[in-house]
Structure 1
């Protein structure tokens, strides 16, 4: 091999190493299907919600995640085609609304796709499949947190609940798998803001959620007096 060939090979190897080291893709081993309780999200958001929230848990996102290490984000630079997803829009606006600004759902979905969904290959094939998977999980597979809690007679009536009874209700609706709960608090009260249900990397079955929010975090749900 001549000098020119050696220089070319070294340059290619170096470029490949730089590409690998700079890539945001770090792989994933499970999915977080996270739902947010609209009134609590609006209550703790610095900017008031533009419309009155519904007393429902609706989708925040479906996120490829790692049980250890960083979660992958922004794996592709793509933009969701609003025309292509037109036949899904009516259902998405109900189960996956932009709670903070209901005049612009597509920006919210596009952000979730770009930041998280684009990293879900091979379980998630493309942006359409990402949205269809969320619809399937929330509606067809009944991974609807509001419905799961309601079946356990836990309704959104502004009552204080314990961490244990909320977790027990979610476990009953997910084949006894541990959820991840997120709360927020101020000087007056602590509210249940998000519930995450976890699935394996192939989206075939529920699993216990790795990496629960630990005591000491500002999002930790206390043992008692969780408002929902």
Structure 2
């Protein structure tokens, strides 16, 4: 029996190794194609905002779009796309169990400065650590808010603002990973899972950005007068 097991052991190891190699090669090719597809999708979502776009590939399957000269109420910003990992089976499984999919992260500067800053994020998401760290830097308290964590200064206004922002997200709430307003720098941050680009049109993300910005402007400094 031990001899038989030894005879079966080497072929089994070879088969398993071959499966992992094929998975790795096929997974990387799939990620490359999905990365290109997500970049095109992202560009189309940003096109209605106007301005100029420049793409920088971080890896073969992740990118950043820099955008300048946007139409009001925005001025500039960036959009990062990251494709779900398919190259290592165990990593893919862990990510799936944690709700990880293809993701976009949009950060935009507004023409008016928000008066209030908040962070809404999913506790187990990829961006939760960044959100918590920034909340600590701001001196905000963090508490549960429905299925999210809300970080802000104490008071009823941040909760009301969070409720209005989530209402602007509407049916895409299930895909929301992070939504933040800041008084400095890039004022608006929106991160979403995009599990099925055939079911989510680029124009829907455009509308979400405009809707969230409209809510933010209700809690912003007055617009500067123009001649």
TM-score, normalization by structure 1? 0.29
Larger RCO, structures 1/2 (Cα 8 Å, 6+ apart): 1
* Higher-helix-fraction structure: 2
* Higher-strand-fraction structure: 2
TM-score, normalization by structure 2? 0.29
